[in-house]
Chains A and B, each alone.
Chain A
Amino acid sequence: MTNVIACIDGSASAPAVCDYAAWASLSLQAPLTFLHVLDQRQYPVAANLSGNIGLGSREHLLDELASLDEQRSKLALEQGRIMLANAKERAIGNGVTSPESKQRHGELLESLQALEDEIRLLVIGRQGESSCSLSQHVGSQLESVIRIMHRPVLVTPTAFKEPKSAMVAFDGSTTTRKGVEMLAFSPLLRGLPVHIVMVGPENEESVSQLGWAQKALLDSGFTAHAAIRSGEVEPTLHAYQNEHAIDLLVMGAYGHSRIRQFLVGSTTTSMLRSTTSPLLLLR
């Protein structure tokens, strides 16, 4: 639980991921590691539809497939090294002293699981290499990554803008209360004004919960504002965000089960889809 790990690939998000990771690494004073995962299964499959097999077909096929994979892997390895080197250079330019890099074979999910013990904060782009450029589109692996991680995840947009203020989406649930506690003890957002926003009816209970959250942050030396708004969760949050020019969103991720998500949808997923600012998801 020591490093900021940033996932780098050839997508357009990579520079922003790199910048946000550098920012997080400097704020947390934690070492920065760039990770590039080589997933063979993302390679296209070669097909020969002739449908016949002859003497030594099996051996030939094995040789053929192995050498194809070999060439692709070598290329991908080389490409990955260049990407990692660029990322490191960029991070050094941003003031990080000695960023490291890691390259792993396998799937993104299993690689992250293997590294989980080292991760203090995971930085990942909203869209990966294979995603098309539709702005509403979220990377195909992002949701699974967030679900399996037990560490905070910073999901970045395609352009970097240094966070000057942050907003915590608060609903009084255990997940978000824990999130507020985490923030209070973490140096990540230290010095930034933090807005705690609740969406829902204003009543005694919500006011007291909000008061608790504000006090927790104030006690740790944050400048904390609190607000309760009514309306639909997502548009209300976005409206508040625009109103106060907030450029970092903090929320608890996937507090509910898969089944509930299937039936009523998930706030996390729709926020991921609609946001243009970085999203810090606390598990």
Chain B
Amino acid sequence: MLQTIKQNWLTNIRGDILAGLVVALALIPEAIAFSIIAGVDPKVGLYASFCIAVVIAFVGGRPGMISAATGAMALLMVTLVKNHGLEYLLAATLLCGVLQIFAGYLKLGSLMRFVSRSVVTGFVNALAILIFMAQLPELTNVTWHVYAMTAAGLGIIYLFPYLPKIGKLIPSPLVCIIVLTAVAIAVGLDIRTVGDMGQLPDTLPVFLWPDVPLTFETLVIIFPYSAALAVVGLLESMMTATIVDDLTDTPSNKNRECKGQGVANIASGLIGGMAGCAMIGQSIINVKSGGRTRLSSLAAGVFLLLMVVFLGDWLKQIPMAALVAVMIMVAIGTFSWDSLRNLKKHPLSTNIVMVVTVVVVVATHNLAYGVLAGVLLAAMFFANKVGHYMDIVSSLDEAGEHRSYTVIGQVFFSSADKFIAAFDFKEAVDKVTIDLSRAHFWDITAVAALDKVVIKFRREGTEVEVLGLNEASATIVDRFGVHDKPDAIDQLMGH
């Protein structure tokens, strides 16, 4: 056990602490920005980010992944906060955590295998677009100073790393924030600052129970929000975990991550924070900065809180333009650039799934709907494709009275019509043999189609003989699995 603790926390101390610091610096603008999206004070997002990052370091299933207050979650809370207020948001956060823990115990993390690659890409792109769109209010109806500041900020973020030596030692988003804040104070620009957006934390977080009546009405109000938050939070966390798995070439425990997200959200709700989940952009920054173990997430949370509590007065002075620049960077970094280049290479069905996911998310501002649409569409395309894997050949005996049909391949709802159409009912023969021993009947639709064929033949006065129905219909049983019997794989592939 000591060995595991050591491996999970202490194998990369220097890298983890530095990465945690870099991540904390980028978390602050994000937490503030996402609080503004949700319509709550910045301190709600900042406390949430601190709490989630720290708690997930201990209970999460993916070391090196960063979780905090996120845009995807913030977008789901907007109407709840507007109609019912902050206290209901905290209650919804608690319930969301409980639902996520249930999901972890039910091992719903494994459901991620139904989410195809193109849906994941669509999700990531949609997320990037949403983060970018959330910055637009800060960029409309403002003076040219704001545009200039934002452009200068982006310039610093992307060009500063090219400076020799210090470029790769000092995080460029930090440089951007410091320079823009200094310029704004020095010139005395009258532009919006973080201080104008609401209350910032001035103390360490304290325990507080949401001030809502514990009634059925409250549950009715918060449940839809909690369910959506739980689903989106887990989706983004699972996807981010996969990305970090790939980047670091190490495995993660997805079900533990589900439960961990739940625990972290409950903890966040109890200290007055909003719900959050894993962050794709921040996790990439963490890995890039050399963070690998749980220590990096803990360090990020602790540094975040220290900076926020002790530098609160300075934080107020940061112009919103600087935050917008950082958030645009996050949006650009989250977007999957390859997916645009791959549009030409990939088959149309894949592209449609990806684009539909993006469009649905952007239209509904709810990532869960987008993923649902994408998964359904992908499943339909798949069923359609597999439906093509069916062929029926037939032969007539010399006397012209007996026709034998041989069915090969997959018969199910998508190919049932094709199956029926392949038989010639108008041909006048005495006897028909249907050989199914090389076919697979996957569902009741396939059986119904066979019944229909048999009845149609009988009505024409033809005698029908069906061969190999038992082998063909073995696949209808729900738990049909190759793993049950040693010779099943031969049956599945060979006959």
Q: Chain B 307-333, CB within 8 Å of chain A: the 1/0 string?
A: 000000000000000000000011011
A55 adjacent to chain B (CB < 8 Å): yes
When A and B form their complex, what is the total count of cross-chain residue pairs whose Cβ atoms lie within 8 Å? 103
The interface stretch among A5-13, A45-53, A119-127, A186-194 is A45-53
A54 touches B288 (CB 8 A): no
B248 adjacent to chain A (CB < 8 Å): yes
A51 touches B22 (CB 8 A): yes
B158 touches A54 (CB 8 A): yes
Q: Nearest CB to that of A140 among chain B residues?
A: B6
A62 adjacent to chain B (CB < 8 Å): yes
B332 touches A54 (CB 8 A): yes
A52 touches B338 (CB 8 A): no
A41 adjacent to chain B (CB < 8 Å): yes
With contacts A55-B332, A56-B338 taken as known, whether A50 is within 8 angstroms of B167 at the C-beta atoms is yes
A223→B268 CA distance, assembly (Å): 70
CB-defined contacts of A50 to chain B, threshold 8 Å: 160-161, 167-168, 170-172
Rounded to whole Å, the gap between the CB of A180 and the closest CB of chain B is 30
B290 touches A53 (CB 8 A): no
Q: Nearest CB to that of A262 among chain B residues?
A: B2
CB-defined contacts of A48 to chain B, threshold 8 Å: 161, 168, 288-290
CB-defined contacts of A40 to chain B, threshold 8 Å: 249
Instruction: Select B18's contact among A49, A65, A141, beta carbons within 8 Å.
Output: A49
A10→B248 CA distance, assembly (Å): 25
Rounded to whole Å, the gap between the CB of A276 and the closest CB of chain B is 26
Task: Taking A53-B281, A57-B333, A144-B3 as given, write out 5 further A-B residue pairs in contact, using a Cβ cutoff of 8 Å, ordered by the A residue number.
Answer: A45-B292, A49-B19, A53-B288, A53-B333, A58-B280
29 contacts between A and B (CB under 8 A): A45-B290, A45-B292, A46-B290, A47-B15, A47-B18, A47-B19, A47-B290, A48-B161, A49-B22, A49-B169, A50-B160, A50-B161, A51-B172, A52-B172, A53-B281, A53-B329, A54-B158, A54-B329, A54-B333, A55-B333, A58-B284, A58-B333, A58-B336, A59-B337, A59-B338, A65-B248, A65-B287, A141-B3, A258-B2
A58→B247 CA distance, assembly (Å): 8
Residues 1 to 23 of chain B near chain A (Cβ within 8 Å):
1-3, 6-7, 11-12, 15, 18-19, 22
A69 adjacent to chain B (CB < 8 Å): yes
Q: Chain B 333-345, CB within 8 Å of chain A: the 1/0 string?
A: 1111110000000
Q: Indicate the member of A49, A50, A51, A69 with the most B CB atoms within 10 Å.
A: A51
A61 adjacent to chain B (CB < 8 Å): yes
Residue numbers of B with Cβ under 8 A of A are 1-3, 6-7, 11-12, 15, 18-19, 22, 25-26, 157-158, 160-161, 167-174, 243, 246-250, 280-281, 284-285, 287-290, 292, 329-330, 332-338
CB-defined contacts of B15 to chain A, threshold 8 Å: 45, 47
Q: Nearest CB to that of A69 among chain B residues?
A: B249
With contacts A47-B15, A58-B243 taken as known, whether A52 is within 8 angstroms of B173 at the C-beta atoms is yes
Residue numbers of A with Cβ under 8 A of B are 40-41, 45-59, 61-62, 65-66, 69, 109, 140-141, 144, 258
CB-defined contacts of B292 to chain A, threshold 8 Å: 45
B333 touches A52 (CB 8 A): yes
Q: Indicate the member of A65, A140, A141 with the most B CB atoms within 10 Å.
A: A65
B329 touches A52 (CB 8 A): yes
With contacts A61-B247, A62-B247 taken as known, whether A258 is within 8 angstroms of B1 at the C-beta atoms is yes
A52 touches B3 (CB 8 A): no
Rounded to whole Å, the gap between the CB of A199 and the closest CB of chain B is 28
CB-defined contacts of B11 to chain A, threshold 8 Å: 41
CB-defined contacts of A55 to chain B, threshold 8 Å: 332-333, 335, 337
A40→B11 CA distance, assembly (Å): 12
A62 touches B330 (CB 8 A): no
Q: Nearest CB to that of B287 among chain A residues?
A: A61
